[in-house]
């Protein structure tokens, strides 16, 4: 009789231990699944941030290059407006050194403004 009681007690203890370990295993699986979901979400957020940064930098570079191109066009327009025809050589023009220096100074200032706008926008964006 004592053997049967001990067997029943051991079976109850083994079953209880097995159920407790099963419960712990299920909790661990739930935590692992939550961690996996958080990792997937973090990866997606990081990818979105990286894509946004690339897009921002691309737009910034395009704006900077456009600004520089406009400055170059303004210089060319200024030089074209201030060119003078060469005597006895039809179709040929000359530009005085003062005008060329003014154009270079204006181009340098325009480039500096473009760089300042680029740096300011970059600092504000990120």
Q: How far is CA 84 from CA 37, 80, 89, 99, in A?
A: 72, 9, 11, 11
pLDDT at 126: 61
Residue segments in the chain with a per-residue pLDDT below the cut of 70: 126
SS3 content of the chain, % helix, strand, coil (to 5): 85, 5, 10
Fill in the DSSP letter of residue 93. E
Q: What is the pLDDT of residue 90?
A: 76
Specify the number of domains making up the chain. 1
Segments forming the whole domain that contains residue 32: 2-125
DSSP assignment of 20-52 equals: HHHHHHHHHHHHHHHHHHHHHHHHHHHHHHHHH
Note the residue count of the chain.
Answer: 126
């Amino acid at each position: 009789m004592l053997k049967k009681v001990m067997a029943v007690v051991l079976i109850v203890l083994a079953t209880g231990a097995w159920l407790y370990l099963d419960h712990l295993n299920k909790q661990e699986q739930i935590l692992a699944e939550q961690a996996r979901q958080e990792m997937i979400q973090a990866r997606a957020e990081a990818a979105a941030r990286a894509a946004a940064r690339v897009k921002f930098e691309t737009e910034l570079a395009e704006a900077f290059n456009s600004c520089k191109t406009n400055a170059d066009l303004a210089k060319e327009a200024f030089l074209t407006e201030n060119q003078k025809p060469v005597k006895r050589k039809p179709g040929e023009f000359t530009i005085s050194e003062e005008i060329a220096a003014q154009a270079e100074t204006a181009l340098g200032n325009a480039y500096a403004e473009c760089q300042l706008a680029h740096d300011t926008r970059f600092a504000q964006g990120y």
